[in-house]
Amino acid sequence: MSQNEQVTSPSARREPRHPAFGPDGLIPAVAQDVDSGIVLMLAWMDEEALRRTLDSGRATYWSRSRQEYWVKGETSGHEQEVVEVRLDCDADAVLLRVRQTGPACHTGTASCFDDGLLVAADRTKG
């Protein structure tokens, strides 16, 4: 290792980082069950939705289709209690680790990814 190289421990990298919102002012937000690790859903947040989430401890998202904020579970009762919020390595996506009450998906499934198996081409044939 040269004199200019530094070894950085994970605890030494804990400077606060700021989300890199896209040109539309949004950032993808992945909700993950804190206990099982299952990915529950993907939604979108702007700066205000993230602030509301951090302040309230309840997942708040921005609806791109309705152009309004929505608190997960506000009408269905299927709430997301936010345990922690993390940024990915590029700070252009957030991970919400949540305690989910009831199903996460509006279709009634536990995860929005339950029925979404993408069938790939058979790669075993030469």
- State pLDDT tens for residues 16-36: 789 999 999 999 999 999 999
Band of pLDDT at residue 2, cut at 50, 70 and 90: very low
Residue 1 has a pLDDT of: 44
pLDDT above 70: residue 4? no
- Give, in order, the Cα–Cα distances in Å from 93 to each of 9, 27, 30: 23, 6, 8
Q: What is the value of pTM for the model shown?
A: 0.81
- State pLDDT tens for residues 48-80: 999 999 999 999 999 999 999 999 999 999 999
Instruction: State the Cα–Cα distance between residues 59 and 49, nearest whole angstrom.
Output: 8
CB 31 within 8 A of CB 40: yes
Least confident of 50-54, 79-83, 112-116, 117-121: 117-121
Domains of the chain, first to last:
22-100 (3.10.20.810)
CB proximity list for 71: less than 8 A, separation 6 or greater? 52, 56, 58, 59, 60, 61, 79
- State pLDDT tens for residues 76-108: 999 999 999 999 999 999 999 999 999 999 999
Token digits of residue 94: 């957030």
Token digits of residue 66: 């309705």
